Structure 1
Amino acid sequence: MAPSHDDEILVLRAQQGDREAFRMLYGLYLDKVYNRVKSRVPLQYVEDVTQDVFIAVIRSLDSYEHRAQFNTWLYTIVNRQIADFYRRSHEPSGPAIDLDANDSAEVALVYDPGDTEDWPLLQVAFNGLPEHYQEIILLRFADGLSFAEIAEQRAQSLEAVKSLYRRAIQSIREKLNGTQLE
């Protein structure tokens, strides 16, 4: 689901103190935030970091100025809370992207989710990607967006998004092939 005009209306209502509007925003974004956090922090901390994200949203909602889409602003908070988690903890940083939840032929070409021995290598490969490649993969898998939704959200053509995605997957494939996965 791509961000919509309805999100902005809900944000305006929430900024005016409408708790039901905030609950609706929470309902719309909880799974996406949870999946993003799950792709970046160890599983045992996902719920805590997700909670921290929404606490930060509540605290800073009044500062949202509608210059960017709400989900862009929200994902900035998600990234900040993940960074804060790693600053506070002694956990090694790096994504733990959950590709297992997605039945994708593209990912199957890169990684067999049943093969847990290679999981750290996938994390290293993903972490080594440029940020725009990481983002396109997160939008596709963590957020579950279609290519058309990603294109709309990023204000890019559908072909540009597909091309970026293919380059990101190819980059992961090359990084994994550069290491011995056997």
Structure 2
Amino acid sequence: MSTFNIDRPLLSEILTDIGTGRIQLPDFQRDWIWDDYRIRSLLASVSQAFPIGAVLTLAVDSKNSLTRLVEGVNREKVIESPNTLILDGQQRLTALFQSLKFECGVYTKNKDKTVTRYYYLDIKKRKKSKSNCNVIKVGLHFCIIGTIFYLIRESVFVIIERKQLDETPEKEH
């Protein structure tokens, strides 16, 4: 008889396991489709320690599983076979993995165009980033054409590459 339990691993552990390949997706899962607004909202919730919903996973025998990596995982860094599949929570975990662990920026949609965004919970880490973009602090909760980032709830920064300034949304209020 199977049983289920409720584990509460740290988010950092989950994201590390995604990056190493221990946590993957069943091959029937749909593709990742979140937009910038949803990602920013999720990061704002995480940064404030607000609940973001449950994640449903299944322990598996990797030899008999048809799986695929979470979008954004570098195949060269995969060192383990999957032992856990994400059944519910793929969109949230992919958004968190790409925005917090992925070094190439997050590929998302803005007005039906694919764009790259860099998200930072700690803007000081931006100085260590290799991205080709500028950071200018203007105020709270903004996006003004000509500047490069949003600030949401005083803690989440979104960095937009220079070449995408013409794709930046109009000024937010």
- Relative to the length of structure 1, the TM-score reads 0.26
- Relative to the length of structure 2, the TM-score reads 0.27
Higher helix share: 1
Higher relative contact order (CA 8 A, sep 6+): 1
Higher strand share: 2
